[in-house]
Structure 1
């Protein structure tokens, strides 16, 4: 995905790869305990549904276990979540990568562009053991300008992540969450053959988290608002 706030072109879906390709086998289903298959957490209500086809109905993916607890990606509801996310964006550490510090309206515009789009990017809260503690953008990298900067394949899926609280940073939590979300995407997106992360090259902590989660650094790219490290993880 391009730097936060950049527009996305209305490119057509390049089509599905051959379903007989052995690289497209689904990962094994997770054997979730009963407490993960019952009632959704309080943050699971989706107040502004988006088109779901381009990311294989992400809102219905459900929870997954991580080394830190049970995580669920919950699509953002601006009425409910804007104050929380805007507060995170005003943390100087977060602003160094996201450049969305300022009044809530700035964060609102960034998220609203995604919510009002065709579903190629879904902004989510990361709810860990019932508490919202991170912000994610799961997006179709093959339908994003970043596809021009690496050897893109159909259905490549990208990940943006920020950890909201300073207390949750610097202790390996990002790696654990990225690893779990990568597996979640591959489990539910059978046509996705590869994942991509593209943090700012100056963000050593983010790059290390991606690498610890199984991503391999493949190069760098000049995106509209940053020089990015390109990190890939194959199925």
Structure 2
């Protein structure tokens, strides 16, 4: 099990850029969500899906998602990303700077730590090994994109056994449970 005892919290984030867009390999492709394209409809539709809404709690109206995606694209906290395997998007990600996130209140985030929120939008695409196959490629791409990043984290709801199993299979180790505003989460980490 990974331990976080030797990590110091981030103090100064002024020189830390927003999260990078990962350059993926092995047939995967990532692109930042464009709220002025059909990407908005894809994200909105996926967030309405019961298997996503149950854990994301963001089954918002389309205009609220448009505002959220614009906010993320305009800031340095989070980057919304669509991931495709070959041609069509299959996974929605939010790559975020953990030290700028609420998760930093429950663990000692380093300035360049990156976090991930992951959703497979179409129920028919779940249980096909997409996430466990993507995660090693994705974390390598994130470490390559930010040489100062030493760990990537996930914080799934402890009840989301499907996600936890996929994240473990993708190389993330559980650190412990943490209480976040909307859930009890299992903090999971992959180090460089």
TM-score bin (small chain): 0.7 to 0.9
Aligned length: 181
Larger Rg: 1
Q: Which runs of 5+ in 2 are unaligned?
A: 1-10
Distance 1:130 1:113 in 2: 27
Q: Is 1:121–1:139's contact at 8 Å kept on the other side of the alignment?
A: yes
Q: Is 2:55–2:160's contact at 8 Å kept on the other side of the alignment?
A: yes
Selected match of 2:103 from 132, 141, 146:
146
Pairing 1:98–2:49 present = no
- TM-score normalised to the size of structure 2? 0.86
Pairing 1:54–2:14 present = no
Q: Which runs of 5+ in 1 are unaligned?
A: 1-10, 17-52
Displacement, 1:135?
0.6
Q: Is 1:216–1:233's contact at 8 Å kept on the other side of the alignment?
A: yes
Distance 1:54 1:106 in 2: 22
Q: Is 2:135–2:171's contact at 8 Å kept on the other side of the alignment?
A: no
Taking structure 1 as reference, are residues 194 and 102 closer, same or farther at Cα in structure 2, changes over 3 Å only? closer
Distance 2:164 2:40 in 1: 27
Cα RMSD for the two superposed structures: 1.9
- TM-score normalised to the size of structure 1? 0.72
Q: Is 1:137–1:159's contact at 8 Å kept on the other side of the alignment?
A: yes
Distance 2:14 2:125 in 1: 39
For residue 194 of structure 1, what is the aligned residue in structure 2? 151
After superposition, give the CA deviation of every residue in 1:82-124 in whole Å (9 maximum; x if it has no partner): 111111111100000111224212322332221222x231101
